[in-house]
Structure 1
Amino acid sequence: MHHDLYGRNSMLELKNINVSYQNHSVIEDLSIAFKEQETTAIVGPSGAGKSTLLRTLNLLNIPTSGVISFNGQELTFPKKYPKKFLNRFRQNFGMVFQNFNLFPHLTVLENVMEGPVHVQKRDRKTVEQEARKSLTKVGLAAKADSYPAQLSGGQQQRVAIARAMAMHPKFLFFDEPTSALDPELENEVLNVIGELASKQNSQIIVTHNLNFAREAADRIIFFEDGQVLFDGTPDEFFASDSPRIQQFTKKILK
Structure 2
Amino acid sequence: MKTKQLLIVWIGILLFSCSDNAKTANNTQENLDVNSVVGNSKNLDPEAKGGNKCLLGYGSKLDELLTLDEVVSLTGFSKDIAEVDVEQTSKNPLFNYARYKFSNKRTEKIGSYNILTEVSDFVSVRNLDEMSMKQFDFEYKAITQEELDDLNQVTDDLIDGKIENSDVEDAVKQAENAGVNKENMKKTSGAITGLFKEVSEGYRNVEGLGDAARWNVVTNELAVISNGVKFDVQVEISKDTEKNKELAIKFAQLILKKCS
TM-score range, shorter chain: under 0.3
Using CA pairs below 8 Å that are at least 6 residues apart, which structure has the higher relative contact order? 1
- Greater Rg over alpha carbons, structure: 2
TM-score, normalised by the number of residues in structure 2: 0.27
Whose helix proportion is higher, 1 or 2?
2
